[in-house]
């Protein structure tokens, strides 16, 4: 492996750093976007069942908010009713929307960096290819003369290794970015739908004043 890195020259080091960054983001996102941490199944129904008769106390709402990201969004509406029982539906929707924006920002964390790696890695590989081509041309001797075989081989190795490594970094990064992007979009839809259902439920139960 070290011989490959040595043959690829210094342009491969930014690619190696990018690959380490991409790998770290992928592991972090797999952990952070686990379903129990974002939208546990059945949580919205449990909250609506608990609010059938009355709004839970602030301590219970705080426990709900610490449960998951969905709990934070739903809990924001319940906490607003605890703080201001006369809140209108529009007031609660504004509170929920603000909580939803904060949740969306947390869901999107580091995805832009992963997308940047996917976009920049081929360009960094191309840079190494160009530098390798310069090495190749530098190895050519005067017309009718002999070139430097060692420099020629080094230029070819640098060009090919950087091109290949750039693609090896970019392709998985792009695949994981698309996967996480779809997963985040699904979670956002779940958060939005669950919040809307809760507000309709609270209004039907008479907890929201007309």
Q: Band the pLDDT of 18: cuts 50, 70, 90.
A: very high
Is residue 166 a part of any domain in this protein? yes
Token pair of 43 as six digits: 């949580």
CA–CA distance, 4 with 135 (Å, rounded to integer)? 17
* Full domain range(s) for residue 199: 2-204
Least confidently predicted of 107-121, 146-160, 191-205: 146-160
pTM, 2 dp: 0.84
Write b or e for each residue in 41-77: b if 16 or more Cβ atoms lie within 10 A of its Cβ, otherwise e. eebbeebbeebeeebbeeeebeebbebbbbbbbbbbb
CA–CA distance, 133 with 100 (Å, rounded to integer)? 51
Is residue 210 a part of any domain in this protein? no
pLDDT per position as a tens digit, 56-75:
898 999 999 998 999 999 99
Q: Given a cut of 90, is residue 174 above it in pLDDT?
A: yes
pLDDT per position as a tens digit, 73-114:
999 999 999 888 888 888 899 999 999 999 999 999 999 999
Domain count, the chain: 1
CA–CA distance, 2 with 12 (Å, rounded to integer)? 12
Token pair of 37 as six digits: 């941490």
Candidates 203, 7, 10, 174; CA nearest to 92 is: 203
30-59 mean pLDDT? 92
pLDDT per position as a tens digit, 182-192:
999 999 999 99
Token pair of 153 as six digits: 């081989």
Is residue 209 a part of any domain in this protein? no
Query: How many other CB atoms sit within 10 Å of the CB of residue 192?
Result: 16
């Amino acid at each position: 492996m070290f011989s490959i890195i040595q043959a690829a020259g210094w342009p491969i080091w930014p690619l190696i750093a990018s690959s380490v960054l991409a790998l770290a983001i992928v592991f972090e996102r797999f952990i952070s976007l686990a379903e129990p941490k974002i939208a546990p199944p059945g949580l919205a129904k449990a909250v609506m069942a608990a609010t059938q008769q009355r709004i839970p106390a602030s301590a219970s709402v705080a426990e709900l908010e610490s449960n998951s990201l969905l709990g934070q969004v739903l809990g924001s509406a319940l906490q607003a009713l605890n703080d201001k029982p006369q809140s209108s539906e529009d007031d609660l929707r504004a509170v929920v929307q603000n909580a939803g924006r904060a949740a969306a920002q947390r869901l999107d964390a580091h995805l832009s960096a992963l997308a940047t790696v996917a976009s920049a890695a081929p360009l960094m590989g191309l840079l190494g290819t160009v530098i390798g081509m310069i090495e190749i041309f530098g190895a050519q001797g005067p017309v009718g003369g002999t070139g430097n075989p060692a420099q020629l081989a080094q230029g070819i190795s640098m060009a090919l290794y950087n091109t290949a490594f750039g693609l090896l970094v970019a392709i998985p990064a792009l695949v994981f970015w698309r996967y996480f992007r779809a997963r985040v979009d699904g979670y956002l839809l779940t958060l939005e739908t669950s919040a809307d259902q809760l507000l309709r439920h609270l209004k039907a139960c008479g907890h929201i004043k007309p």
